[in-house]
Structures are given as C-alpha cells and as structure tokens.
Homo-oligomer: A and B are copies of this chain.
Amino acid sequence: MAQKHIVIAPGDGIGQEVTAVGKKVVEKIAAKFGHEFTYDEVLIGHVSIEATGSPLTDEALETMRNSDAVLFGAVGHPKYDNDPTAQMRPEQGLFRMRKELGLYANLRPIKLFDELLGASSIKPEVLKGADILFFRELTGDVYFGEKGRKNNGDTAFDMAEYSRYEVERIARKAFDAARTRRKKLCSADKANVMETGRLWREVVQKMSLDYPDIEVEHQYADATAMLLIKDPRRFDVIVTANLFGDILTDEASQIAGSMGMLASASIGDGTGVYEPIHGSAHDITGKGVANPIASILSVALLLDISFGMKEESELVIKAVDNLLKAGYRTRDIADSQTAADKILGTEAIGKLVLTTLDEL
C-alpha cells in the first residue's frame, strides 16, 4: 500500500479524451492493489491560455512540482499553427514544464505488439522483434536557445546550444539503460555539420571508455532516419539531441504500427511527466476515435519509473496486450483484416481495459 499524489494535465484536443482514459486506469490500479492515490487536475496549453491568459501558470507548475508524478496529454491548437506571428503559444506551456521540472531525459520505447504486425506500413519480416528505446534530450537545443528576428523582422534565427554537462547526463542514462538491455548504443548527431554535434560525439566517445561492455556506434541523424526504416532491428538504445529526437521518434512510431501506441516518460531532477508521443490532433478531436493506448501505456511507465511498481505496470501492459489479442482495435491500428465490430472508439477501448484489469 503506497500513498501517491498524481497531477493530471490533459491539455488540448485529444489530450483530454485519452488522458481521461489514462486516469481511469490509474484509479483502477489503485483500487486493485490497495494504493491510495490522490489527484489534482491542472490546465496547460491552449485551454490554459483561454482560461488564465498563460500557457502554464506558476500555480499549475507548483502543483506539478509538488506531486509524485504527472500524467500529461498534449498541447496545440490549429489557431496557432495557422498564425505563425502569434506571440503566446500553447507549446510554451510544454517547454516551461520541461525546463522548470528539469525533465532533460525523454524516454520513448518503440516496441511493436505482435498482434499489430499487420497494421504497420513496414513489412512484418522487417519489423518482427524490433525493440528500440530512445533517449531524447529534452531541455536543450534550438528548443531553449536564443531565438528571434533581425533586419526589421526579415531574418529569423534560432540558436542550438549544448554543454558538455547536458550531453553527459542524458548519455549516462542511455548507457545505463543499454546495460540492462542488449548492450548496444547508437548516438545520432550531425557532427559532420554542427558544432553541437561534434561536442555531442566527443562526449559520447569519451564516456564509452567507462562502458567497455556497451557496443557504441555513431550515426549521422540523416542516416539514422534511413536505417530506422530499412532495418529497425539493428537498434537497441538510441540517444540523440532534442530536435533530432523529435523527428526520429515520430518517424519510429511507424515501427509500432501507429503513433497512437506510443508512450513516453520525461524524467530528470524531480517529478516525472508521462505522456503519449502523439499531439493534440484537432482533426479528430471530439469524434471519440482517438487511440487511448498511448496514454494507458504512459500510465504503465509512470507506475514503473516514478513509483517503482513493476507488477502494477506489467498488469497494465498485459491488459492492453489481451485486448489486442482479442482483436479489438481503434481505427488507426485496424488493418484490412480487422472485423468492423471490433473497431472501437476511445471510451469503449478504455472500458475494455478496465474490465480486463478486473479479470486479470
């Protein structure tokens, strides 16, 4: 029996729909295992701008900081996508959360449930057995460097920056993880073009001397983008900078069949944040068709990493596996063989996970 305080931050668009399901799964686990979880809900992103005039208030941030873990949804709104001149943007709430909570390591496990082999656009024989763990750096790079305009607004600039220390701390987490897995680490950079890439490579090369048991390869980010599709099984752990990690993990979602399947953990100095890697997806918001599995699997990561609850975590994954085995799918992961009556919406999939958890 453990007491934990969890902050729910659904954010925008389908973030609301999938996080509602995620929360129910946490509650079910608490009931089943006799844990005492308490909750706060906070605003972030567009909904926060609308309600408070800020994409993330100090108060919401403090609530997160004082919690044991945050279950987050997504931020974003077409309004801002179409207006590149907007000064206040939903994403600023996300960046503030990442920076202020010191969430420098974003773990994105890419693993295909066997039942979804057919749902990917990649050939099953290329995919089968692929199992990649990304470590995306999350508080540096162009995301947090100086940016702005000059020449009367006619020139825009973004500064990418990395310090040795920033590279070391994310690389250390990746090396340590590789030790518990297949002992292979790929570091992806653009050392042939960027000075940050050369520093990155230098640091990883030096650290590899402390990890003689880990097989390290350095790949350019462009080559990595190609190899991920050509031969995903060659990778075990991949560590990379913020911007490359953003692109490469979105791409790698196709290895898992759909972005709707992928969860992530953002960890660092304090409270961890758990979230789907998909965005707010306003094109499908309100239709009840969003895949909640990424949020459910985010709960599994939360239980495991922030609370050390291995058994609880595995049960959540097992529940998802069971319903996939039983043939249930959301639209995004249905293939041409899926029976129409087994294609379910967000809430129905959520309910199935809850009843499966009851039975397990």
Contact = CB atoms under 8 A, between A and B. Distances in A.
A173 interface: no
A158 interface: yes
A247 interface: yes
B250 A223 contact: yes
Contacts of A225: 225, 247-248, 250-251
Contact of A192 (B89, B151, B248, B251): B89
B122 A84 contact: no
Contact of A251 (B149, B158, B249, B251): B251
A193 interface: yes
Nearest to A199: B156
Contacts of A198: 84-85, 156
A196 to B, nearest CB: 4
How many copies are assembled? 2
Interface stretch (A56-64, A176-184, A226-234, A318-326): A226-234
A84 B191 contact: yes
A81 B164 CA distance: 19
B222 A250 contact: yes
Nearest to A147: B195
Given A193-B143, A194-B147, A250-B222, A160 B160 contact: yes
Contacts of A243: 190, 193
Given A247-B222, A250-B225, A159 B162 contact: no
A205 to B, nearest CB: 7
Contacts of A52: none
Contacts of A210: none
A244 B80 CA distance: 21
Contacts of A161: 155-157
A76 interface: yes
Contacts of A157: 145, 159-161, 195-196
A338 interface: no
A38 interface: no
A275 to B, nearest CB: 15
A250 B149 CA distance: 30
A191 B247 contact: no
Given A89-B192, A156-B199, A205-B84, A229 B162 contact: no
Contacts of A197: 84, 158
A148 interface: yes
Interface string A67-81: 000000000100011
Interface string A222-260: 110110111100000000000110111111011000010
A71 to B, nearest CB: 22
B251 A193 contact: no
A229 B229 contact: yes
Contacts of A231: 121
Contacts of A126: 121
Contact of A84 (B76, B81, B201, B229): B201
Nearest to A121: B126
12 contacts: A84-B202, A84-B205, A85-B202, A91-B192, A121-B231, A142-B160, A142-B193, A155-B161, A159-B160, A222-B249, A225-B248, A244-B247
7 closest Cβ contacts across the A-B interface?
A156-B199, A84-B198, A222-B250, A225-B251, A147-B195, A84-B201, A156-B195
Given A84-B201, A156-B162, A247-B247, 5 more contacts: A81-B192, A147-B196, A154-B163, A155-B199, A223-B250
